[in-house]
Amino acid sequence: PSCRRYVAGGRCKSTARLEGKVVIITGANTGIGKETARDLAQRGKCRLISRQPCARVIIACRDIAKADAAASEIRAETGNQQVIVKKLDLADTKSIREFAEKFLAEEKELHILINNAGVMLCPYSKTADGFEMHLGVNHLGHFLLTFLLLERLKQSAPARIVNVSSLAHHGGRIRFHDLHGEKSYNRGLAYCHSKLANVLFTRELARRLQGKFQRQAGFTANALHPGSVSSELVRHSFVMTWLWKIFSFFLKTPCEGAQTSIYCAVAEELDSVTGQYFSDCQPAYVSPRGRDDETAKKLWSVSCELLGIQWD
C-alpha cells in the first residue's frame, strides 16, 4: 500500500560495485548495520568471470557470537567469503586502539568507514574511560576510531567516512559544562546530544579534509538520519520497546533503514560531496546547532583532550 511505501522512504538506486574495496562497519551484527553489510558484500560479489577479488567487509562488533552469526548468514547469502568479524568495543578506548592496530597490521587499504554502532536510552552509566555512555560510544568512540584509521583512508582515496546520526540531533545541545551528565542526566536528551555531536564531528572533519587533497582524491565525510527503524536500539527502554511493537507498521524495516547509509557509502553522485547530512537518500535539514562552526571546533578540541590525542 502507498502508506507503507511512504514509511519505507527513499531507496539507494546506485548499482556501484565494490570489488577489491575494503569496508569497515561498526555495530553490523544486527539492525541497519547488518543490512548495510549485506548490501555492500553483494556489491563485491565473487564471480567466476571476474578476476577482481571480493569486497572485504569487516564487521566490527563487541558481541563476537552475534557478529559471527551475522557474518555467516551474509557469506551464505551473497557468496562473498570476505565478510570478516573483528572485536571492537566502542565503550573502551583500549579495545578501539587494539582493533585499529590489528587492522593496520593486516590490511593495506581502507575505502569506506561506516560509523554505525550506537547506544540509545541507557540508564546512567559510564564507559571504561569514565565517559557518559551515549557520548562515549556514539561520539568519542567513533571519533577515536576515525582518527586512528585516517591515514589508511587517505592512502586508499577515493575514500568515504559515513557517520550514522539521527533526526534526534534537533533536540540535542553540547553541554560543555556537563558533558558527562554528572550534574543532571536525562537518557533521552543524552542520546540527542550524542547525535548532535555526530553531525558536528562530520562538519568539522569535512572542513579539515577539504582543500587540494580532498578535491583531487575524493575523500569525503557525510552524516545521515536512517529513519525510525524497528531495531534493538530501544532495548534499554521498556516503554519504547512496547511502543515500537504497537506502531511497527509505521517503522522502517532494518533493510529500509539501511538505504541512506548505503547511499552515502556508494552513490556515484556523492564522489565530491562532503560535510552534508542526508535522510531518505537525499539532503536533509540540519538544526541551527548542527551548523554552528564554533561549537564544532570546540567539540573537536575537547574530544581530543578527553581522548589524549593530537589531531591537527
Active site residues: 191
CB-CB contact of 200 with 174 (8 Å): yes
**How far is Cα 30 from Cα 44, in angstroms, rounded to an integer?**
20
**How far is Cα 193 from Cα 172, in angstroms, rounded to an integer?**
4
By CB atoms closer than 10 A (0-12, 13-18, 19+), residue 132 is buried
- SS3 label, residue 276: coil
Distance separating the N- and C-terminal Cα atoms of the chain: 51
**How far is Cα 99 from Cα 184, in angstroms, rounded to an integer?**
33
Single-letter code of the amino acid located at 277: Y
Q: What cell does 164 get?
A: 550514522
Exposure string (b/e) for 220-251, b if CB count within 10 Å is 16 or more?
Answer: bbbbbbbbbbbbebbebbeeeeeebeeeeeeb
R_g (Cα) of the chain, nearest Å:
18
Contacts of 173 (CB under 8 A, 6+ apart): 193, 196, 289
